[in-house]
Amino acid sequence: MLSRYPLSETKEINFPVSPVRDLLVEKIDNAAPLITWQAPYDGDTAGYYIYRNRQKINQFPVTALSYSDGYYSGGVVTYGISAVNNLGVEGPIKEAALPELGIGVKQGTVLRRGLLETVPVVITLPPQSPPSQGGATGGVSVDTISIKVGTAPSSIMQGPFTLAANSTLQVEKVAATTADAPSFVSVLATASWSPTPGASVRIIKTSSAEVTGSSTALEIYSDPLIRGTDGKVRLKINNIGSALMEFLTSESSTSTKKLKITLKDQDGNVLSTVLLIGDTSHISCC
């Protein structure tokens, strides 16, 4: 059955110049914001225009793929980048707004050396500047939060974590200090999100936490060990951190290769080695 209405006219829109790719606005502590991007997929690119609060800041296209805003003085700033081809035709502007977001461990946080702890992370978003000043009055939805305590590896929390303007949010992340951590450790907190496809924002802040000593987490008990006989060894693990710990003590009702008990003499010579079975193991002496 044919429609009595004619088909609408087909329109195809082609940009003379493609938008830039992988726009990233990054702010690390008190350093100037750094804006980086990648060239469009098409190769006819002569340079780029840079926009700050929707105002073009360079009269002639630049060929660099990064810009450090030394004029930043706080508040919300919207950055934009557009590509220009060899004929001087400018492509669409890709934008990302940088809010004045704060992130770090809660003030007064104390960690115990070498233990898993539940670390409180506080995110703050102050009142944002009005649109006439290049900002946005809305909130921010953070995609991921990364925490790095001292020299320990980073750990990541998946969001979204949503903050309205003039609000504070506290989240908790399990992390640990190293066994040789000093009395105070730096905590690197990173908030990342993608406001639009092909654009992302990353804010990195450094805070610190006090580190105290901890009591013994592992205790070993054994029957009297007599040369030429087997003795029973028991392990006691004390969870003295603030986070849940799990230890694999057996696999399929057999010993696990992940836990091993070694008997040494006073000179450090290995006399016997066994795998842990359940929460007890028998070890041959001498």
Arithmetic mean of pLDDT, 207-215: 82
pLDDT at 92 over 70: yes
Global pTM?
A: 0.69
Residue 201 has pLDDT above 90, yes or no: yes
Token pair 């028991």 in the structure block, residue: 234
pLDDT at 132 over 50: no
Question: Domain 21-98, what fold?
Answer: Immunoglobulin-like (2.60.40)
Closest CA to 82 of 116, 106, 46: 46
- Domain range summary for the chain, segments of one domain joined by +: 21-98, 102-212, 218-284
Q: Give the range among 9-18, 70-79, 81-90 with minimum mean pLDDT.
A: 9-18
**Model confidence at 59, in pLDDT bands (50, 70, 90)?**
very high
What the block records as the tokens of 125 is: 């978003």
Is pLDDT above 50 for 233?
yes
Looking at per-residue confidence, does 284 or 62 come out higher?
62
pLDDT band, residue 56 (cuts 50/70/90): very high
Please say if the pLDDT value at position 15 is more than 90. Answer: no
pLDDT at 66 over 90: yes
Instruction: Indicate the pLDDT class of residue 134, thresholds 50, 70 and 90.
Output: very low
The mean pLDDT value for 26-42 works out to: 95
- CATH number belonging to the domain at 102-212, selected among 1.10.3470, 2.60.40, 3.30.450, 1.10.10: 2.60.40
Burial class (CB in 10 A: 0-12, 13-18, 19+), 172: middle
User: If you average pLDDT over residues 209-233, what whole number do you get?
Assistant: 71
Phi-psi region of 242 (alpha: psi -120 to 50; beta: other; left: phi over 0): alpha
Task: Give 135's pLDDT tier (boundaries 50, 70, 90).
Answer: very low
The single-letter DSSP state of residue 88 is S
C-alpha to C-alpha distance for 40 and 50, rounded to whole angstroms: 15
pLDDT value, residue 246: 63
Would you say residue 131 has pLDDT above 50?
no
Output the average pLDDT for the chain.
82
For residue 27, what pLDDT band results from cuts at 50, 70 and 90?
very high
Query: How many alpha carbons fall within 13 Å on the CB side of residue 276?
Result: 18
Q: Say whether 102-212 and 21-98 share the same fold.
A: yes
Q: How confident is the model at residue 177 (pLDDT cuts 50, 70, 90)?
A: confident
pLDDT of 41 above 70: yes
pLDDT grade for 215, boundaries at 50, 70 and 90:
low
